[in-house]
Amino acid sequence: MCIVSNFISAYPIRASTPIVTSPLSIPLNVINAHQAIANPFVPEVVKAVDALHSEFRAVDNLVACNTTRVLKAFQNARVGSHHFGGSTGYGHDEAGGRGALDQAFAEIFGAESAIVRSQFFSGTHAITCALFALLRPGDELLAVAGAPYDTLEEVLGKRDSGGLGSLQDFGVKYREVPLAEDGGLDWNALMSSVKPKTKCALIQRSCGYSWRQSLSVNDIGRAIKIIKKQNPSCSVMVDNCYGEFVESIEPPMVGADLIAGSLIKNPGGTIAPCGGYIAGKQKCVDAAAARLSAPGLGVDCGSTPGDIMRAFFQGLFLSPQMVGEAIKGSFLIAEVLASKGYKVQPLPRVPRSDTVQAVQLGSREHLLAFCEAVQRSSPVGSYTKPVAGATPGYASEVIFADGTFIDGSTSELSCDGPLREPFAVFCQGGTHWTQWGLVLGEVLKSL
């Protein structure tokens, strides 16, 4: 396995490598006169791109490492065009590629087993199946990275679900370890927080709508060790949304029992039209599959039409590349908006743990203006104006700018945010960083 633990500092190329690839820095003698074009970016973006040369090269290296891992897994699963056939009806047996996809996915994520299915509605749905798989009445769920993502509140019973079957309705207790003051895990509190009834610990890798650091896989591994030391029978489930392929290792490789996420985020590679996944220990994945389907049916059921199976394989193959582009986009957003005095999280040029870049805009008007500028610059629905409103699963009003080919896809260039203090916008995705370069010009005009 190719490990890049700190992909920024691991490749100090700035001093020795001549700049040859930045479109803004291409020496005129390497392009022919007919190709010379006017500079497409505003000066702030030009400056940022030049400053980020070594970060961009380091991301390319990460992409190559993760692509190697994906290729090996595809080869080991003997993926062939016959796997793109899909299935109908019950989808029994190998079902048109389902078995090969699960096998490749499990290997890529360092898991014993995986279920990758179009039948998961979303990340929230996959995470819910994983939690219901691991918890039973009388157990306690402990969230160790502060409040989980907004859409999980009704799942846990933190917000009233109207008796529709939250974990609390089934007698599962819930507790949180708040984050430390610096926005990271509270390691001291964690040392004594796991009780005999704590049967599952939930770790959210990405920041969600909180102004906090996302967790590195190494930090997740350290937390797992602390949890298991206190109660070896406590399972650890990681909400892996937005974390996939951002590093060269994944949570099951550092001891997570289960991970779950969405295919219209990172691992769908902007191609998967729907779906989600769960991966981890065989027993836990079997239990999660029984939640998605029914006890007795498990992983061996459920059909997915052929065009979707092909998109799942192709999206998974492309995912490291698309995640790389999204990371470059996040570096660019941080660099440009920090230079204009906005607070950004993560800070410019620090290694990333997810694909999300948050920017504090300070007012409702600025948040709306930012999202409107992004929507105006999108390839789909550029003529529409995003409007803040109620969305299923969210307590706050939320605004989304997602001029994307797949509805709500956040592996494509998009941004969103809840209309509440500190009025932060959360930006993510993008099939090419240059799209963020162009969008930022429009954003700067409107702020």
Ligand X SMILES: Cc1ncc(COP(=O)(O)O)c(C=O)c1O
CB of 304 to ligand X, least distance (A): 18
* Position among 66, 151, 270, 404 found at the interface with ligand X (CB under 6 A): 151
* Per-residue contact string for residues 107-136; x = within reach of ligand X by CB under 6 A: ---------------xxx------------
In 10 A of CB 179, how many CB atoms?
Answer: 19
Residue number with CB closer to ligand X (265 or 328):
265
Residue number with CB closer to ligand X (100 or 201):
201
In 10 A of CB 282, how many CB atoms?
Answer: 13
* Position among 54, 204, 378, 435 found at the interface with ligand X (CB under 6 A): 204
> Which of 272, 253, 3 has the alpha carbon at shortest distance from 261?
272
Residue nearest to ligand X (CB): 123
CB of 267 to ligand X, least distance (A): 12
Dihedral sign of CA atoms 266, 269, 270, 276 in order:
negative
* Per-residue contact string for residues 15-54; x = within reach of ligand X by CB under 6 A: ----------------------------------------
Does 149 sit near ligand X (CB under 6 A)?
yes
Helix (H, G, I), strand (E, B) or coil at 315: helix
| Contacting residues for 441 by C-beta, under 8 A, at least 6 apart | 41, 42, 45
Residue number with CB closer to ligand X (372 or 402):
402
Provide φ and ψ at 200, rounded to 5°.
-150, 135
Residue number with CB closer to ligand X (241 or 318):
241
Does 66 sit near ligand X (CB under 6 A)?
no
CA distance 269 to 264: 8
CA distance 144 to 194: 10
What is the DSSP-derived secondary structure letter of residue 191? T
Does 206 sit near ligand X (CB under 6 A)?
yes
Provide the token pair at 167. 């974990």
- Count interface residues toward ligand X (CB under 6 A): 12
Does 268 sit near ligand X (CB under 6 A)?
no
**Residue 312 in contact with residue 99, Cβ under 8 Å?**
no
Q: Give Cα separations from 331 to 14, 59, 372, 411, 423 (angstroms).
A: 16, 10, 21, 16, 20
CA distance 286 to 215: 27
Residues 228-267 that bind ligand X (CB under 6 A): 239, 241-242, 262
CB of 261 to ligand X, least distance (A): 8
CB of 75 to ligand X, least distance (A): 30
Residue number with CB closer to ligand X (44 or 397):
397
**Residue 298 in contact with residue 95, Cβ under 8 Å?**
no
Residue number with CB closer to ligand X (149 or 342):
149
Measure CA 395 to chain center: 21
Residues 362-381 that bind ligand X (CB under 6 A): none
Query: Which spans of this chain sit near ligand X (rule: CB under 6 A)?
Result: 122-124, 149, 151, 204, 206, 208, 239, 241-242, 262
